[in-house]
């Protein structure tokens, strides 16, 4: 990977997105990132866009800007997501709309516009960050899990559509991590969830980085439509 490699990562304000942005910068890539709020950090080679991934016009504008400045896009990581832990019977429709809009519609829009730019060079890697929430079936996560389940289905089908363009599409499900969502889970309940994994620990940012690197590699040209669950979920 070199300075000619262009990477787009959504949700780079903190967490997985910020970590992956810094990781690809260390590898020498030019990194484009976005979030609705200012990131609070900066680095050489990094360009930030104030974009809501569910805003179609804003997404188109961001990718058009990337095309104008770089003329290419090699890797896209759809990481931006929101969650709200609540039982379904207590969840208002507005919350469902917000979660599905950012988690699923945002992934669709970013993937669609990324693929349009990637096909110019007949090469691309689209990597979606999903979740183990639907496998673990945690009460209160029905809407969030459903949004990520939709992303996984979309990943598998988009992979078929963009394969003739030289683009792969895969997903990484990090397993259990310390996130804003899991912080709301009581300690004993979280420990019980960890015990349901083959690997009896929480995932680290480095674990996710390793999986993303595998899908992003030029050597992974024959790997597409896959969902990699970390931790043995």
Residues tagged active-site: 144
Q: Locate tokens 């050489």: which residue?
A: 44
Rounded Cα gap, residues 53 and 226, in angstroms: 23
Q: Are the CB atoms for 180 and 83 separated by under 8 Å?
A: yes
Q: Quick one: DSSP state of residue 96?
A: H
**Nearest of 130, 142, 132, 213 to residue 171 by alpha carbon:** 130
In sequence order, the 6+-apart residues with CB closer than 8 A to the CB of 144 are: 83, 84, 85, 99, 103, 131, 133, 181
The encoded tokens of residue 117 equal 């730019």
Distance, C-alpha 174 to centroid of its chain: 10
């Amino acid at each position: 990977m070199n300075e000619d490699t262009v990477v787009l990562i959504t949700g780079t304000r903190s967490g997985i997105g910020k970590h992956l942005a810094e990781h690809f910068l260390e590898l020498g890539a030019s990194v484009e990132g976005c979030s609705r709020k200012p990131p609070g950090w900066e680095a050489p080679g990094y360009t930030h866009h104030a974009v809501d991934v569910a805003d179609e016009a804003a997404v188109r504008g961001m990718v058009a800007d990337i095309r104008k400045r770089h003329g290419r896009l090699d890797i896209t990581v759809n990481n931006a997501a929101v969650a709200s832990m609540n039982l379904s019977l207590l969840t208002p429709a507005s919350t469902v709309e917000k979660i599905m809009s950012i988690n699923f519609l945002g992934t669709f829009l970013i993937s669609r516009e990324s693929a349009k730019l990637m096909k110019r060079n007949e090469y691309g890697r689209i990597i979606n960050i999903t979740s183990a929430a639907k496998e673990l079936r945690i009460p209160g996560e029905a809407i969030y899990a459903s949004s990520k389940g939709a992303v996984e289905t979309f990943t598998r089908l988009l992979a078929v559509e963009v394969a003739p363009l030289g683009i792969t599409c895969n997903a990484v499900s990090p397993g259990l991590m310390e996130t804003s969502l899991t912080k709301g889970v009581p300690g004993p309940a979280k420990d019980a969830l960890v015990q349901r994994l083959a690997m009896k620990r929480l995932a680290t940012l480095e674990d996710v980085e390793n999986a993303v690197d595998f899908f992003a590699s030029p050597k992974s040209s024959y790997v597409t439509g896959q969902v990699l669950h970390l931790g043995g979920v």
